[in-house]
């Protein structure tokens, strides 16, 4: 027979926002086994929370060996890009309710870079390509006594590509990059674009020559995966097209 106490417990359970979601995580520890495998975790969670919150619950309460990168937890540092339900996303910007949590939610490392442990990949090839395109302002002589002036229209020219947080979601979603990893990749081109079209910069020609390489901008097949993957909403493919056009016309 139901008692007032049981009624209260059931009513609270019915109004609780919590669900039990299954997180199917790709695990890999080269010190233990040569092969990666899937492991399921049942997590009590509010669907309004993010995948990063679920990963924290798993690491802090269930399995401290789970390994992943994160820092800011607010979409700024770019360190927690991962493949969630088969798509590159930032764990800290992905709400569980948007992932059909009645089915297992898969979480894997991004593709195209060597997995070091669980969700952590070796980012060095990605950052090498970034360094190769000279991602800094080059300006010789005419040192201004105050700031270097630029019109609003000139600043607007490269506004979109200033938003990059170097998360690698674009590059690691590109099928050309998966094939051999030699392609500079969309993130490096985005960061070259940011300076090529900056009216204050003097090394645009040099950067265009770097991207004219056999592993440069011409390897892009305009598949748009990069644009779909970018958590900052950067029009990555458009930026790549602009660099290609600048190479053809040498006007920027």
Residues of this chain that interact with ligand SF4 (CB under 6 A) are 78, 164-170, 186-187, 190, 229-230, 232, 234, 236
Instruction: Give the one entry of ligand FES, ligand SF4, ligand F3S, none that residue 99 binds, where binding means its C-beta sits below a cut-off of 5 to 8 angstroms depending on kind.
Output: none
Residue with Cβ nearer ligand FES (53 or 80): 80
Report the b/e string of 224-237 with b at 16+ CB within 10 A. Answer: ebbbebbbbebbbb
**Token pair of 29, please?**
């520890």
Among 168, 174, 188, 203, binds ligand F3S (CB under 6 A): 174
The distance of closest approach from Cβ of residue 143 to ligand F3S in the complex, given in angstroms and rounded to an integer, is: 37
| Binding status of residue 73 toward ligand FES by CB under 6 A | yes
Among 55, 92, 189, 229, binds ligand FES (CB under 6 A): 92
Residue with Cβ nearer ligand F3S (40 or 180): 180
The distance of closest approach from Cβ of residue 136 to ligand FES in the complex, given in angstroms and rounded to an integer, is: 22
82 has which bridge partners? 89
Residue with Cβ nearer ligand FES (71 or 114): 71
The Cα 207–Cα 216 span in angstroms is 10
By CB under 6 A, the residues from 47 to 66 that bind ligand FES are none
| Binding status of residue 71 toward ligand FES by CB under 6 A | yes
Instruction: Give the one entry of ligand FES, ligand F3S, ligand SF4, none that residue 230 binds, where binding means its C-beta sits below a cut-off of 5 to 8 angstroms depending on kind.
Output: ligand SF4
Instruction: Give the one entry of ligand F3S, ligand SF4, ligand FES, none that residue 76 binds, where binding means its C-beta sits below a cut-off of 5 to 8 angstroms depending on kind.
Output: ligand FES
The distance of closest approach from Cβ of residue 106 to ligand FES in the complex, given in angstroms and rounded to an integer, is: 18
Question: Taking the CA of residue 42 as centre, how many other CA atoms within 13 Å lie in the half-sphere pointing to its CB?
Answer: 2
Residue with Cβ nearer ligand F3S (121 or 226): 226
| Binding status of residue 70 toward ligand FES by CB under 6 A | yes
| Binding status of residue 221 toward ligand F3S by CB under 6 A | yes
The Cα 98–Cα 47 span in angstroms is 8
Among 41, 45, 66, 79, binds ligand FES (CB under 6 A): 79
Site residues (CB under 6 A) for ligand FES? 70-73, 75-80, 90, 92
């Amino acid at each position: 027979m139901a008692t007032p106490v049981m009624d209260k417990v059931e009513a609270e359970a019915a109004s609780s926002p919590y669900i039990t979601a299954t997180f199917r995580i790709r695990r890999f520890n080269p010190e233990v086994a040569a092969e990666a495998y899937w492991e399921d975790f049942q997590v009590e969670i509010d669907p309004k929370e993010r995948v990063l919150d679920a990963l924290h619950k798993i690491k802090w309460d269930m399995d401290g060996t789970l390994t992943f990168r994160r820092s800011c937890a607010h979409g700024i540092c770019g360190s927690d890009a991962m493949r969630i339900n088969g798509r590159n996303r930032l764990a800290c910007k992905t709400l569980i309710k948007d992932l059909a949590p009645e089915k297992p939610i898969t979480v894997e490392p991004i593709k195209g870079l060597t997995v070091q442990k669980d969700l952590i990949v070796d980012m060095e090839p990605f950052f090498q390509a970034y360094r190769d395109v000279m991602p800094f302002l080059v300006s010789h002589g005419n040192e201004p006594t105050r700031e270097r002036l630029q019109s609003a229209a000139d600043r607007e020219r490269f506004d979109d590509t200033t938003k990059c947080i170097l998360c690698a979601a674009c590059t690691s979603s590109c099928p050309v990059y998966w094939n051999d990893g030699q392609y500079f990749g969309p993130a490096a081109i985005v960061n070259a674009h940011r300076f090529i079209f900056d009216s204050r910069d003097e090394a645009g020609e040099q950067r265009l020559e770097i991207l004219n390489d056999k592993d440069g901008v011409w390897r892009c097949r305009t598949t748009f995966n990069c644009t779909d993957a970018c958590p900052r909403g950067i029009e990555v493919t458009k930026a790549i097209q602009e660099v290609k056009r600048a190479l053809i016309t040498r006007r920027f």
